[in-house]
Structure formats: C-alpha cells, structure tokens
Amino acid sequence: MKQKLVMLLSLFSLICATAFAQTATYTGTALVGDQPPAPRSYDSYGDHIAANDDWLMVSAPREDVDFDNDGISRAQGDQDVGVIYIYRRTSNGPAFHSKIEGQGNNVNPNTQGDRFGAGIVLQGNTMFVGAANDDDFPGLIDPTGGDFRFAGKVYVFNYDVTVDEWVLVQKLISDAPNSLASFGARTDSSHMELFSFGQPEPTIALIGERQGNQPDIAAKLHVFKRKENDALWERVQIARAPSATTFARFADKVEGVGNFALVTESEINPYPEPSPSAVHVYRIGPNGIKKTNNQLIPIQTLYRPSELVDPVDCDVEFGQGLSAANGIAAIGDSCDDTVGNNAGAVHVYTIDNSGNNDTLTLSQTLPNPSAMAGSFFGTNFGNGKQTISTDGNLIVVGTANFRGPGPFQINVELFARDDSGTFFLADSIPSPIPGVFDEEEYGQAVQLLGNDELAISQGSDGTLEIVSGLVFLFDIL
C-alpha cells in the first residue's frame, strides 16, 4: 500500500510539473514580404516586429523600392529604402492590410536608402518608425562637419479608422542632427518606447540618440510629450549619458515597464567596474522623466553581474538584449562565459514598483541551454535585432549569431515561470526551415504577441540564396 501511495504521489507530482510546461507549436504560417524572392536581396523582412491586440507590424528595412519606375530597384537611391508590412490580427491569424514604404530621398550620393523600419514601436493606434539612414535635413548644417549620414528620423503614424489607413502625422528629429547619431534606430537596433499612463493612446515617448561624433552633441535620450487635444508631439526633455564620457553609446536600447524606463549605455570610457556597459533605470511620469535632486538622472544603475567575462573579447553587450513586462525585466549578457566562451546568458530582475523602493533586484540567471560557444545568447550583437521578449510569465530568447560551418541547429529558447516565480526551460524551438550557415539568422527577432502566440523571424530560407527574410508564427500550448 505504501509503495502504491508513493507511486501515486510521484504521478501526481509529474502531472503538476507537466501542467507548468509550455511548448511552442508551429502553426504552419510563415509571413513573407510581397517582393519576388531574389538571390542575395537582403530585404531583412522580419528585422523588427511590433504587435498589439489589433495589429502586427513587420519591418523590412533593407527592401529596395523602384522610385524612378525604371524597372531596376537596385539603382542608386532605390536600395535599402525600407518597408513596413501591416497585418490586421484576426481569429484566423494575421491578414495583410497594407504596407508603408520609406521615402528613399537620400541626399548623400554615397549612401543607400533610409532603412525605414530599422525600428518600430506600437501602442494603441500610434506607431513610431525609425529610419536609421535618413539624411534629408534641408537648411541645416551638420555640426560634425559631416553629411548627416545615419543621422536618422522617427516617423509618427496614427491609424485613421474613417479611411482604414495608417497616416503619417509628424517627423521627429534630434535637436542637433548629426552624422552617425542614429536618432530613433540604427541598422541593428531600435531605441524608442511609448508610455500611456492609463490612456488609450501614448502620451510620452522616449527616443534614443545613441552615438555622436563630438562630446557636446554625444548620446542623448529625448523625451517627447503628446500635445493635449492634438496628434502632434513636442520635445520636453533631453537626458545625457550618466557616465558623461566621450562617445558613450547611451540609449542603445530603451524599454518601458510600468512607470520605469530601462536605458542601456555601452562603451563607457573609462570603464567602470565590473562592466563597461550598464542599464540605467529612470522613473517616468505623465510629464516625462521624474527628476532626482532636480536632475534628469537614473534612480538605479545595473551592471553586468557575471564575473566570467573576457573584457577584451567582448565588452559592451550587457543590456543589448532587453525586454520587460509585468514586474519582470530580462536583460541579455551575450559575453557571459559560464557555460562556454561567449555562450551568453539572460539575467532576470524583479521590479519593485510599490513606491517604497522602486528598484530592480536580480532574481535569477538563465545560462544558454545549448552551451554553444560564440552563440551570443540573448543579445542583438552583430545581426540580431530583437532577441528577447517577455510578458512576465514567459521569456523567449533567440540565439541568432553562432559563427561556424553548417549544417547545425539553432533553437529559440522558451522559459516559463512556475508557481514559485522561478523560470525554467520549457521548450527549445527549432526553425521550421533549418539553415546551413549562420546567415539564416533564425531568432534574430522574437516577439510574444499575446493570446498565446509567438512570432520568430529568420533571415533566410536556409539555402543561403534567398535571404529576403520570413516570420514564423507559433502557438504556445
């Protein structure tokens, strides 16, 4: 009888453990751009993904657009213009709605298109789109003496229900546009965030300007506020890099959660210990960043907790992968060497937003399950774009950058949270179309869509020839 009781208890424990497990099942749907797949076209479809209950947005910032209608979209001025694909979410899955093309009006003849869609952020019926290489600033002089190459702009769109269209309402720029500033987005990273404070539409926007060429115009965090009874935005604050060091890449990533903004700063020089990169925590209110001692400074700064790091080999990647939601922040640390050289890890922080402490506390570290050296788990290092997504109960992490000969298997890792609040590896999600080399970039962007749905992008079809990009949809069961 005792043996049977033990067996029954063991079975009950197994059932309970299984109940916590989450697995991702490919739905059979792969979204692609509407351009004919062309060898080595590098459209970067799936570079960034944004979604809410009604919409799914997918960017292709390197898609070419034939502006002069000569039938040759690869002509100078047509390349890397960029496109946003817009899908309406339905009970039968995403349905294509429309697309928005970048303007492609580059002034500098030595550069290609605007790379419209290098960043997207969506909330309600408001969408901000970063154009990383927009260099069109008539009447202005580049304070660096340059040509505004990769200065960047942010395009603001509102959905107009009366005409069923996403309508451009405003273009936002830096207070001092300059070459390489990457206002709003760069070629492999988006640094924008929106806050709504209980309103149906966002009222505060944070936009990073991550790199400058002179100390007096170096990296900044711009705060914009929506005007009352208006669709337009105005700049109300500018925060500088807390390190106050030359060429620090402040606002590489910007992520909002509750009344907090998490803002990455990398390449801090001189390097503070124990890391040359950090994530700064700001308190955000209806009027922008809440001041501390009458200054726009963070209330907390997080440094890499890992000790097994080679600072020469890889020294700037803490916080380059970043996602936060519902009291949890997941911060990538691609250079963590705990399970392999540059195998990477993700650090999980709990957020106290009670008003008493308002702090983030490290609660857990998730090492790379594959222990694959050089895979840079949990970051946007190199070609990765958006490799961590969390909703507070799930954490999805891409590993897009393993360098080596194929064939090999790259998985996207799914972690679930049990009743004790601890995250565990619930599933390893392989690509539905396995690749043959690192350029497949499976997992370069991952996004939890709500309603137990997940989107994962892949840079190529696995043949190394068709590299336009595609987005796979999964159900989480």
DSSP for 272-314 reads PSS-S-EEEEEEEETTEEPPBTTB---SEEEE---S---TTT-
Taking phi over 0 as left and psi of -120 to 50 as alpha, with beta for the rest, 196 belongs to alpha
Task: Tell me what pLDDT residue 247 has.
Answer: 62
Task: Tell me what pLDDT residue 276 has.
Answer: 72
* Burial class of residue 165 (count of CB atoms within 10 Å of its CB; 0-12, 13-18, 19+): middle
Task: Tell me what pLDDT residue 408 has.
Answer: 56
Task: Tell me what pLDDT residue 87 has.
Answer: 97
- Stretches where the chain sits below pLDDT 70 are 1-21, 35-41, 66-77, 104-112, 187-188, 211-218, 245-248, 269-275, 306-316, 353-357, 380-385, 399-409, 434-440, 460-467
Record the pTM. 0.89
Amino acid found at 418: D
Task: Tell me what pLDDT residue 35 has.
Answer: 63
Task: Report the C-alpha gap between 155 and 128 in whole angstroms.
Answer: 6
Task: Tell me what pLDDT residue 278 has.
Answer: 87
Task: Report the C-alpha gap between 467 and 436 in whole angstroms.
Answer: 12
* Burial class of residue 50 (count of CB atoms within 10 Å of its CB; 0-12, 13-18, 19+): buried
Residue 376's φ and ψ, nearest 5 degrees, are 50, 55
H helices within 21-115, ranges in order? none
Contact 166, 86 (CB under 8 A): yes
Task: Tell me what pLDDT residue 10 has.
Answer: 41
Task: Tell me what pLDDT residue 9 has.
Answer: 32
Task: Tell me what pLDDT residue 105 has.
Answer: 60
Residue 265's φ and ψ, nearest 5 degrees, are -130, 125
CA atoms within 13 A on the CB side of 69: 0
* Burial class of residue 5 (count of CB atoms within 10 Å of its CB; 0-12, 13-18, 19+): exposed
